[in-house]
């Protein structure tokens, strides 16, 4: 009997073949330059010193030509450096940690649901099923007004929550960075669903007595991806205002938006959204280069609002009884997937190494010309980033992105643990995730971070950061008292 041929993938180490291919393509310019330099060196050795002296003597230098060449070089260098975008640094950030009095364990949440929805046991049962599969833990928090039976979502209570979250995060940021209120040149506050008059940005200005010439902005209605929209706005402003500091505050105020009706599509956010907020200091000052944690590399925004289904998949409206809530469409995950594809198409060429781009191009050409049934090649974004911060919108969101991007469990750990510990804190969740990675001591100098967020409208936004220095673990921050307990195993279903 002839010997059975070994499987090719086992006999030939395809892993090492791929690694060799990646190294060759990604360093092709360096390798080419080395070969050229080696050729020049061999030619110099072959000619010898006498021939080199003769060659030097044969060259004739004209003073006018030298001056013109020098001027041209200086002019090109000046134009290049003047047109080069300013570097934007994330000096530091601070996340709000809710007080223990706001904690809502599963038992408390379900007890309140039974009392508030006593006339509709099916809605109570639905919320219990969602909570069991949500991926949330026992330590998430809701604002004080939601702890009342029934909830008491007054304007005063909503302002109280906003002041607690935003001022706590701002105070922590001032303490960590040594920033003084008078040094803030730009202020951006984003909160999607709570937009009072005066605005939240005006509330911050009043509290800290900021300068009268400050450039302030208040973004609302832009969903969970508004934090990265604020980063994009801050980047654009810092490009035109030199030597400036920008503070970005991202939060979502839960108090006025807790749904008290019976529509299932509107009850879902009650089970997922929790208190949270973050304050960030961005700067274009060169003096901040050494102490800044990160440098902003790219921001890519994708908006699918031209499509009616995408526009309405996360929609604030009234139910039949007049209760206002956020309705989540069944098509949400499919729409999020399409938005992610569009975003990846844009960000891929900016961040992927040449080896991945060539493989994608060859596969695309092969499918068009040779065989349409070829499986499309999904670029390996693990070659472009060391860390991933996926918006902790829910277990299904994280699962879908892990599957589509072919990420490992460790790559999604920060997102899952943030969802477990703090719940869906909307636009600020990305910063809790980044804090988790730092608290674990995993962030090293040169590491690249990809933040991905989804928002109503429908939007998918990405930000790419490069770590400016190795970050040591600190004794403060939202993870300080619990990081040693994580990661934890999160079962598919938690029986209540």
Tens digits of residue pLDDT in 98-121:
999 999 999 999 999 999 888 889
Contacts of 466 (CB under 8 A, 6+ apart): 294, 295, 297, 446, 447, 448, 449
* Dist CA 478 CA 421 (whole Å): 10
Q: Which pLDDT does position 6 carry in this prediction? A: 43
Q: Residue 472: exposed, middle, or buried by beta-carbon count in 10 A (0-12, 13-18, 19+)? A: exposed
- Token pair recorded at residue 471: 């970050």
Tens digits of residue pLDDT in 425-458:
999 999 999 999 999 999 999 999 999 999 998 9
Phi-psi region of 446 (alpha: psi -120 to 50; beta: other; left: phi over 0): left
Q: Which pLDDT does position 31 carry in this prediction? A: 72
Q: Which pLDDT does position 1 carry in this prediction? A: 40
Q: How many residues does the chain have?
A: 496
User: Within the chain, which residues score under 70 in pLDDT?
Assistant: 1-28, 56-57, 59-62, 80, 82-83, 376
Q: Which pLDDT does position 234 carry in this prediction? A: 97
CB atoms < 10 A from the CB of 83, how many? 7
Q: Which pLDDT does position 198 carry in this prediction? A: 95
- In CATH terms, the fold of domain 88-469 is Peroxisomal Thiolase; Chain A, domain 1 (3.40.47)
What pTM does this model have?
Answer: 0.85
* Dist CA 496 CA 493 (whole Å): 9
Q: Which pLDDT does position 22 carry in this prediction? A: 55
Of 401, 395, 386, which Cα lies nearest the Cα of 418?
395
Catalytic residues: 224, 303, 387, 391, 420, 424
Q: Is 302 within 8 Å of 346 (Cβ atoms)?
A: yes
Determine the Cα angle at 220 with ends 449 and 102, to 5°.
Answer: 75
Q: Which pLDDT does position 12 carry in this prediction? A: 40
- Token pair recorded at residue 49: 């010193």
* Dist CA 88 CA 86 (whole Å): 6
Q: Which pLDDT does position 16 carry in this prediction? A: 46
* Dist CA 459 CA 306 (whole Å): 11
């Amino acid at each position: 009997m002839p010997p059975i041929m070994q499987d090719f993938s086992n006999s030939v180490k395809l892993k090492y073949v791929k690694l060799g291919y990646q190294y060759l393509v990604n360093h092709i310019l360096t390798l080419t330059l080395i070969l050229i330099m080696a050729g020049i060196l061999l030619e110099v050795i072959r000619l010898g010193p006498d021939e080199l002296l003769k060659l030097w003597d044969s060259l004739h230098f004209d003073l006018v030509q030298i001056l013109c060449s020098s001027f041209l070089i200086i002019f090109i260098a000046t134009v290049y450096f003047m047109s080069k975008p300013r570097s934007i640094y994330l000096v530091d950030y601070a996340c709000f940690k809710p007080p223990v009095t706001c904690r809502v364990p599963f038992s408390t949440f379900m007890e309140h649901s039974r009392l508030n929805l006593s006339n509709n046991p099916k809605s109570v049962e639905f919320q219990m099923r969602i909570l069991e599969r949500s991926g949330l833990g026992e330590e998430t928090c809701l604002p004080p007004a939601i702890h009342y039976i029934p909830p008491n979502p007054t304007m005063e209570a909503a302002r109280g929550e906003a002041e607690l979250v935003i001022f706590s995060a701002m105070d922590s940021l001032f303490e960590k960075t040594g920033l003084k209120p008078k040094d803030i040149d730009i202020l951006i506050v984003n909160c999607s669903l709570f937009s009072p008059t005066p605005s939240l940005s005006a509330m911050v200005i009043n509290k800290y007595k900021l300068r009268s010439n400050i450039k302030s902005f208040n973004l609302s209605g832009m969903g969970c991806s508004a934090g990265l929209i604020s980063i994009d706005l801050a980047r654009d402003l810092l490009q035109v205002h030199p030597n400036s500091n920008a503070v970005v505050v991202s939060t979502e105020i839960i108090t006025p938006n807790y749904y008290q009706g019976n529509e299932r599509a509107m009850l879902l956010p009650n089970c997922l959204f929790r208190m949270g907020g973050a304050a960030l200091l961005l700067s274009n000052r060169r003096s901040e280069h050494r102490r800044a944690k990160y440098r902003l590399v790219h921001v890519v925004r994708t908006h699918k609002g031209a499509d009616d289904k995408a526009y309405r998949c996360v929609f604030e409206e009234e139910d039949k009884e007049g209760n206002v809530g956020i309705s989540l469409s069944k098509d949400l995950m499919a729409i999020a997937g399409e938005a992610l594809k569009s975003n990846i198409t844009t960000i891929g060429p900016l961040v992927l190494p040449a080896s991945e781009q060539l493989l994608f191009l060859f596969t695309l050409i092969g499918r068009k010309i040779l065989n349409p049934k070829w499986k499309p090649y999904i670029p390996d974004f693990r070659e472009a980033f060391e860390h991933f911060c996926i918006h902790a919108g829910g277990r299904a969101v994280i699962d879908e992105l892990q599957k589509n991007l072919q990420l490992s469990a460790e790559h999604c750990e920060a997102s899952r643990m943030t969802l477990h510990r703090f719940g869906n804190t909307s636009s600020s969740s990305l910063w809790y995730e980044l804090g988790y990675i730092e608290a674990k001591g995993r962030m090293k100098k040169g590491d690249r971070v990809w933040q991905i967020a989804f928002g109503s409208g429908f939007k998918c936004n990405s930000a790419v950061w490069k770590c400016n220095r190795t970050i040591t673990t600190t004794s403060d921050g939202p993870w300080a008292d619990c990081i040693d307990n994580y990661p934890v195993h999160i079962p598919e279903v938690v029986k209540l």
